[in-house]
Chain A
Amino acid sequence: MNSKRRKLLQALGGTGIIAAAQPWTSAPAFAQNAPLRIGILAPRAGIAGTIGECGLKGTQFAVDHINSTGGIAGRKVELVIEEETNPKDTIERLRKLVLQDKVDCVQGIVSSGVSLAMGPVAEDMKALVVSWDGTTQDGVKETMPNKRYFFSSTDNECEAVMASLLAIKHWKGQFKTVAGINPDYSYGRNNFAAFQALLRKYGIEHTVVADQWPKVGTTDLNSHVAALKAAKPDLVFSSLLFADLPIFMRTAHGAGLMDGGTKFVFPAAGFQHTALKKSFTPPGMIFGHNTLYFDYAKGSELQKQFVQWYHEKTNDYPNWEADRAFFAMAVYKAGVEAAHKAKGGWPGKEDVIGAMEGVRVQSLGGPGMMRKDHIAEQTFYQGITTHDNKYDFPTLGTVDVMYADQLQKGTGQDFWKWIETANIKL
């Protein structure tokens, strides 16, 4: 029962049980042959356990790939996996990874609460951290004004921005009343606020007739749906994810919320896309798949390989968290290798950080880049759904692709100010 981690490690590193800690600073000559140790902080239990599961698959795929093709600058990769829980305990695990296991890099983290707490701690410990997710805008700017060691994922609001843009592009003039049902945490709050801010920016007259904030993990949404139905909105914007989304879909369908021509925008639908069965999910909705759309016809060979590998392992199709995890690993690999090449020898941590700034990589979902201000830029996929496919769940009929430079704030900007002033082409 307790051997899962070990098994995974063996599968990944091929080195079996971790050797005693080898700090890279003390013995550079020896270190050249020792595997690189990468700490992973991923949720395993509770609501977010499902994110961690998918992300870990991305990491595993990346590490298999790396280790079978010569490692990172010649060194194989070995993982130390720890659980992300609440901020208090996760910081303890981070300290363990950094101080005790002496890992070279920490990747993971999906919760904004944890990443907000972790940023300053990582900076203080000079720990190189590349986060998968968990970068909701609130609090980010005061917590980490000048990041040196912490690398963030793309802003969590990107998908809301893109979904809002698509809604405006496709349905402008077709809706006057809007309603929101979004998860009750910073992610949901900001998504709905971003949607409204963009409607204002493009001068779309609208009234919010209902806004619902079910707690994440609410399994009975009948009353929420009843409230939405009573408000008779022309458009419903919902960044629900996890199991909440299929539950909402099924409940809304059962109550007839989808019978009256109401439009639906689900920026985070790609997280539970395979659970949204056709029978209760009509076509013609806006679905966001974030940075990985598994069925993208023009997707890279790498993506197709991964999707197949994932499907064989789980009998399911992956969501974007796998891509985020892969991206984090790819950025670190690219940084190390660039620094290694530049230095002509094994690079120090500061060299790696320098090389990671501005590095471009090919992730599972598509091209991406790590900005100089330590915020990731990736490719986003959204579109309007269709039932015309071989699956029992809807996929995208038309796929819109946007690069994050269109979807997130520039260096040093405030997200909300950026929305007002940004020059985005619809």
Chain B
Amino acid sequence: MTAFLDVVIGGVFHAAVLFLVAAGLQLVFGVQKIVNLACGSFYALGAYFGISAVSWCLARGMPPAYFLPVLIVAGILVGLIGPFIEALLLTVYQRDEAFQLLLTFALVLMFQDVLRFFWGADPQQLGDLVMTYGRVKVGALQVPTYNLLVIAASVVIAAGLGAFLQKTRFGRILRATAENREMSLALGVNVRWVYASVFTLGTMLGTVGGALVVPTAAASLDMPVELVVEAFAVVVIGGLGSMRGALAGALVVGLLRAAAISWYSELEMLAIYLVVIGVLVLRPGGLFGRPLE
């Protein structure tokens, strides 16, 4: 039972982080119809910047317990590169999707060196900071409190995003723009502004995700290219452009991976790709997406 719970918590933790990145992807795709290969790069950027920010604060006498808010703020701050990158994407909105994909691929290439230029090739870590919040023990079950906080943060962000999209005026504008760009234009929506804000929000979801996960992990140069594949699996399973899909997809991938590792570790990533292909065969639009073509 403990073992089972361990697996579930491990899977949910992984899903929580994947959700943030995938939600960013979905938001941007939903509104702007752009698939951002550089989502992994934003994630890595958040992780590296988070470490620097926390280290900077600690060196100036911040009590270690405050590192979580620092990470979140760092993630949000570095997410502010969003508008600049969006300005670049602006040049290809009217073009074939191949160009949009290539442009974000170019960003992937550039970010690899940008990260290396600023942080070097050695992996960066936050030492034992994660244990500042201690562990939660229930019987034989032991989980670092921080992991639960990350799951909680992800749930809060998911709920917040949902409420934001459903309840606020801006959320309704976003959904309307996603449905029909011309109509929004005709209704006087400032699409330029909507796109810039959506892309920034999508970027922040990635950078905050990276910053949140880094105390339990490490920031390393291969983070971006590795994560992209998993994030894609999530959005394909969930259905491109669907927030609910991001949530469901992240849970499927996270739990599946945890289960595969526990029962037949050779299948780790293979199992995920097989599910992706299975979903595409049986439900071409993904679990929550619309049928295509």
Contact = CB atoms under 8 A, between A and B. Distances in A.
- Direct touching of A and B (C-beta under 8 Å): yes
Interface string A153-167: 000000000000000
A243 B125 contact: yes
A254 B131 contact: yes
B121 A246 contact: no
A242 B128 CA distance: 17
Interface in A4-63: 43-47, 49-50, 52-53
B217 A254 contact: no
B198 to A, nearest CB: 28
Interface in A139-185: none
Contact of A243 (B130, B220, B258): B220
Contacts of A52: 121
A85 to B, nearest CB: 12
A279 B262 contact: no
Interface string A232-265: 0000000000110011001101111001000000
| Residue of A45, A223, A280 most packed against chain B (CB within 10 A) | A223
Contacts of A223: 7, 10-11, 14, 257-258, 261-262
Nearest to B255: A223
| Residue of A44, A49, A224 most packed against chain B (CB within 10 A) | A49
B116 interface: yes
A256 B135 contact: yes
Contacts of A254: 130-131, 135, 142-144, 147, 216
B121 A217 contact: no
A220 B262 CA distance: 14
Contacts of A255: 6, 142-144
Contact of A227 (B7, B112, B137, B217): B7
A53 B121 contact: yes
A95 interface: no
| Residue of B3, B10, B258 most packed against chain A (CB within 10 A) | B10
A15 B42 CA distance: 41
Given A46-B222, A49-B121, A53-B122, A220 B217 contact: yes
B17 interface: yes
A385 to B, nearest CB: 16
Contacts of A47: 220-222
A186 interface: no
A219 B218 CA distance: 6
A50 B121 contact: yes
A277 B215 CA distance: 13
Given A222-B9, A223-B7, A250-B128, A230 B268 contact: no
A215 interface: yes
Interface in B48-87: none
A251 B218 CA distance: 12
Interface string A272-305: 0001010110000000000000000000000000
A251 B217 CA distance: 8
At the interface, is chain B mostly helix, strand, loop or mixed?
helix
A45 B44 CA distance: 14
A49 B116 contact: yes
A178 to B, nearest CB: 16
Nearest to A51: B121
Interface string B204-241: 00000000010011101111001000000000000000
B216 A217 contact: no
B120 interface: yes
Contacts of B220: 47, 217, 219, 242-243
A280 B218 contact: no
B76 to A, nearest CB: 21
A251 B221 contact: no
A372 interface: no
A398 to B, nearest CB: 25
A44 B217 contact: no
A43 B221 CA distance: 12
Contact of B221 (A46, A211, A224, A225): A46
Nearest to B126: A250
Given A45-B221, A246-B125, A255-B143, A215 B262 contact: no
A137 interface: no
B162 interface: no
Contacts of A53: 120-122
B17 A227 contact: no
A424 interface: no
B269 A227 contact: no
A220 B10 CA distance: 9
A69 B82 CA distance: 53
Contact of A211 (B13, B17, B143, B265): B265
A204 interface: no
Contacts of A45: 112-113, 116, 121, 221
B96 interface: no
A280 B217 contact: no
Nearest to B117: A1
B293 interface: no
A217 B266 CA distance: 16
B128 to A, nearest CB: 4
B142 A256 contact: yes
A277 B17 contact: no
A279 B128 contact: yes
Contacts of B147: 222, 254
Nearest to A260: B140
A226 interface: yes
B218 A246 contact: yes
Nearest to B113: A45
24 contacts: A44-B121, A45-B221, A47-B222, A50-B121, A219-B217, A219-B220, A220-B13, A220-B217, A223-B257, A225-B10, A226-B10, A230-B6, A230-B262, A242-B220, A243-B220, A246-B125, A247-B216, A250-B128, A253-B131, A254-B130, A256-B137, A275-B123, A279-B127, A280-B128
Counting from the closest, the 7 A-B pairs by CB-CB distance are: A49-B121, A243-B123, A230-B3, A226-B6, A243-B218, A256-B142, A254-B144
Given A223-B10, A243-B217, 19 more contacts: A47-B222, A49-B121, A49-B221, A213-B265, A213-B266, A219-B217, A220-B14, A220-B17, A220-B213, A220-B217, A222-B13, A224-B261, A224-B265, A225-B10, A254-B142, A254-B216, A256-B140, A316-B122, A392-B127
